[in-house]
Chain A
């Protein structure tokens, strides 16, 4: 089945930019969603359809998808952005929802 790979961790200083990659074979041909999960809480959708934001999500969160990598970018990082982030696609071939391995973002 389709596999999505993320780095286990990313560290970033407050005010800087965090980039979280999500790798998959020809992922650019698929549509990617991103979720934020704070400790002890359910995930929250932060980017959908590669680059759209749900209402209430700040424009500091953005997404891009091309080739073999999709990327979630968080600009002007804040302490409250510290969380786990997961990418997700719908693999139409297997009819599976597929999650990435997850990335823990640490704000230094």
Chain B
């Protein structure tokens, strides 16, 4: 069964870079079945898609975050990662990694989520 687990610092200072990693078990990062993605949820608010990556290395980014975000994958570690640069308090959120499937991009599996707080 596919499982995803986020890891990374829970506290990031303003203007610095938020870096998170998602470790996979039960599926290969090189699978042609899935896209791999990141979604975030500020406290008390709704879901916001951040970015996705496919096995071809093609990437998709939320336009509102595109200038600050990079998604990448590491096949040797069966992981994918998120870098969000120049963070501010509005980037405080629970960050989820997820597997995305199909032409209509449904999100089949989610990590448990990790809270990242931006504060000095």
Contact = CB atoms under 8 A, between A and B. Distances in A.
Interface of A: 1, 30-31, 33, 35, 37, 42-45, 48-49, 54, 86, 88-90, 94-102
B25 to A, nearest CB: 16
Given A97-B37, A97-B100, A45 B49 contact: no
Contacts, number: 62
B110 interface: yes
A7 to B, nearest CB: 13
B33 interface: no
A45 B63 contact: no
Given A96-B60, A99-B49, 9 more contacts: A42-B113, A45-B107, A48-B106, A89-B104, A90-B104, A95-B60, A97-B100, A98-B49, A100-B46
B14 interface: no
Interface string B93-109: 00010001011111110
CB-based closest 4 A-B pairs? A97-B49, A90-B105, A31-B104, A42-B110
Interface string B68-86: 0000000000000000000
Nearest to A31: B104
B7 interface: no
A35 B106 CA distance: 10
Interface of B: 37, 39, 46-49, 52, 60, 62-63, 96, 100, 102-108, 110-113
A96 B110 contact: no
Nearest to B107: A45
